[in-house]
């Protein structure tokens, strides 16, 4: 049985990924700050299938301790799913809250590279795989995207850069860069369930299960195949973003 380490498994894409992988015969380390949600996952899927690791990804010491404390059955990580992340705010850069910017950089950039670095020796030893959930926001800009977009451009590109360093190790690396997925993402970003409902209404957005299916597909491909990047979008979203301002 193979083991996945899924960051941000208390909601959305991460939770769906744990459920999908476990249904396909994996065991998972599921991380997040909300312990009660991880406990519910364990109750649902079984303590032999899911190990809850409660920590804030911005706390490198806590991350290190959680990895060091993994029970033997969960310690050999074959797949890292770099998923924990968030956006905070949609204000234009000139009005944005600096604390929000710092939180996004700490979570989407610093924590993601720290977790990757900590698990790389195990992943190399086991010829494992890394899947990062980046975003279309890293490829196409939109108003108010600013630091979120920058952090996801980093995530997308860092993930591709890992391929070069891992050349010859057998470790597979994939950047999944989704468009709109209806999760708690927009509630977290705006603080408003109404804003979230308004954004997704009528869009027929992707679901967390859609992305989890892609993670599983990538992770279960024959070992000689590497998908470098996937950029899924809902049919009703596109990337035509040029505008002109008139004097």
Here the tokens at position 34 are 């909300």
Q: Looking at beta carbons only, is 57 or 129 nearer to ligand NDP?
A: 57
Here the tokens at position 222 are 């024959």
Of the listed pieces 39-47, 94-102, 113-121, 173-181, which binds ligand NDP according to CB under 6 A?
173-181
The phi, psi pair for 220, rounded to 5°, reads -105, 10
Q: Which of 31, 122, 135, 196 binds ligand 8X3 (CB under 6 A)?
A: 135
Q: Which of 2, 3, 4, 10 binds ligand NDP (CB under 6 A)?
A: 10
Q: Which of 2, 185, 218, 234 binds ligand NDP (CB under 6 A)?
A: 185
Environment class of residue 16 by beta-carbon count within 10 Å: exposed (0-12), middle (13-18) or buried (19+)? Answer: buried
Question: What does 84 interact with, of ligand NDP, ligand 8X3, none (CB < 5 to 8 A by kind)?
Answer: ligand NDP
Least distance CB 198 / ligand NDP (angstroms):
14
Cα–Cα distance measured from residue 84 to residue 13, given in angstroms and rounded to the nearest whole number = 9
Q: Which of 2, 20, 21, 32 binds ligand NDP (CB under 6 A)?
A: 32
Q: Which of 8, 32, 179, 234 binds ligand 8X3 (CB under 6 A)?
A: 179
Non-local CB neighbours of 42 within 8 Å, separated by 6+ positions:
30, 50, 51, 52
Q: Looking at beta carbons only, is 123 or 136 nearer to ligand 8X3?
A: 136
233 in helix, strand or coil? Answer: coil
Interactions with ligand 8X3, residue window 48-107 (CB under 6 A): none
Cα–Cα distance measured from residue 230 to residue 221, given in angstroms and rounded to the nearest whole number = 14
Q: Are strands 79-82 and 3-6 parallel, antiparallel or unpaired?
A: parallel
Non-local CB neighbours of 135 within 8 Å, separated by 6+ positions:
148, 149, 152, 155, 156, 177, 178, 179
Containing 120, the helix (H) or strand (E) segment is: helix 112-125
Least distance CB 34 / ligand 8X3 (angstroms):
21
Whether residue 142 lies in the annotated active site:
no
Least distance CB 180 / ligand 8X3 (angstroms):
5
Q: Catalytic pick from 140, 142, 148, 200?
A: 148
Interactions with ligand NDP, residue window 46-105 (CB under 6 A): 56-58, 83-86
Q: Which residues are catalytic?
A: 148
Q: Which residues bind ligand 8X3 (CB under 6 A)?
A: 135-137, 179-180
């Amino acid at each position: 049985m193979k083991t996945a380490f899924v960051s941000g498994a208390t909601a959305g894409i991460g939770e769906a990924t744990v459920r999908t992988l476990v249904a396909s015969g994996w065991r998972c380390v599921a991380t997040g700050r909300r312990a009660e949600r991880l406990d519910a996952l364990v109750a649902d899927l079984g303590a032999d299938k899911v190990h809850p690791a409660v920590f804030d990804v911005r706390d490198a010491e806590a991350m290190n301790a959680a990895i060091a404390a993994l029970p033997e059955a969960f310690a050999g990580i074959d797949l890292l799913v770099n998923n924990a992340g968030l956006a905070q705010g949609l204000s234009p850069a000139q009005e944005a809250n600096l604390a929000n910017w710092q939180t996004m950089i700490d979570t989407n950039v610093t924590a993601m590279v720290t977790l990757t670095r900590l698990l790389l020796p195990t992943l190399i030893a086991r010829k494992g795989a890394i899947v990062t959930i980046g975003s279309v926001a890293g490829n196409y800009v939109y108003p108010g995207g600013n630091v979120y977009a920058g952090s996801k451009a980093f995530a997308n590109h860092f993930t591709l850069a890992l391929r070069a360093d891992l050349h010859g190790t057998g470790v597979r690396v994939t950047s999944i860069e989704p468009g709109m997925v209806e999760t708690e993402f927009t509630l977290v970003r705006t603080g408003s369930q109404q804003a979230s409902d308004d954004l997704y209404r009528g869009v027929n957005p992707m679901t967390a299960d859609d992305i989890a299916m892609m993670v599983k597909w990538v992770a279960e491909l024959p070992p000689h195949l590497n998908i470098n990047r996937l950029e899924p979008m809902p049919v009703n979203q596109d990337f035509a973003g040029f505008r002109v301002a008139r004097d």
